[in-house]
Amino acid sequence: MCQSMGLHRSYTLANDKSSIAESKRHAFWSLYTIDKNVSLNMGLTSHFPDHDIDADLITPSNDPKRRPWDLMSLVIVEFASIQGRVYDELYSAAASKASDEQRWAAIDKLSSDLVTVRDKLLAIDVSLGYYAESLHGMAACADFIAYSVLTVIYRAQTRPRDATAISSQCYEAAALALHSHLKCFTYFRDRQTHKQTEYVNW
């Protein structure tokens, strides 16, 4: 539906009032992040190929209470883009034809970019934002999410024919993901149900 409405293209919003255009951008990029996450988790091609998107990103609010949410949303879009690249460059049909050198170069670049985005998210000051506790909770999950995807990246260090073998980096990332999950679980265990739901969804 987003593509039918043209929300992935900047020209379709050119004549909209700024507030309407911004709402449409929020809607599009929210769906984009969901799609990239589902794509990687299910091992399916994304419905939103990056080469066909020229929609502008959302504009962070100047309201100090809303701004942290917008800044975090922008970083989450970056993270989703990396998830899409992980599938495209490491697990798609085209990726299976890449040489070992190309695959290792992609792994190095993706892992580096992922850590950069994780650090960018953790650098956001969320203390003044609306529902700051929810923002703190999302930030607390950053390591778990990052290490989980890093595990998927490093899993590609071994070819499908070596399905039972994993690299030391993959093992280490998986262990860090598990430890991060246990840390997050401790943080959310005694929280209200809707806070626990936020963790599961994030």
Max alpha carbon distance in the chain (Å)? 55
Is 80 or 200 the better-scoring residue by pLDDT?
80
pLDDT of residue 169: 96
- DSSP alpha helices (H): ranges in the chain? 2-5, 18-42, 67-86, 100-122, 132-140, 142-155, 168-189, 193-201
pLDDT, tens digit, 9 for 90 and up, residues 91-115:
999 999 999 999 999 999 999 999 9
**Beta carbons of 141 and 184 less than 8 angstroms apart:** yes
pLDDT, tens digit, 9 for 90 and up, residues 7-42:
888 988 888 899 999 999 999 999 999 999 999 999
**Mean pLDDT across the chain:** 90
Question: What are phi and psi for residue 49, nearest 5 degrees?
Answer: -65, 130
pLDDT above 70 covers what percent of the chain?
89
Say how far apart CA 137 and CA 187 lie, in whole Å.
8
**Beta carbons of 197 and 140 less than 8 angstroms apart:** no
Residue 137 has pLDDT above 90, yes or no: no
pTM: 0.89
The stretch 116-142 carries a mean pLDDT of: 90
Q: Where along the chain do its domains lie?
A: 99-201
pLDDT of residue 52: 94
The stretch 173-187 carries a mean pLDDT of: 87
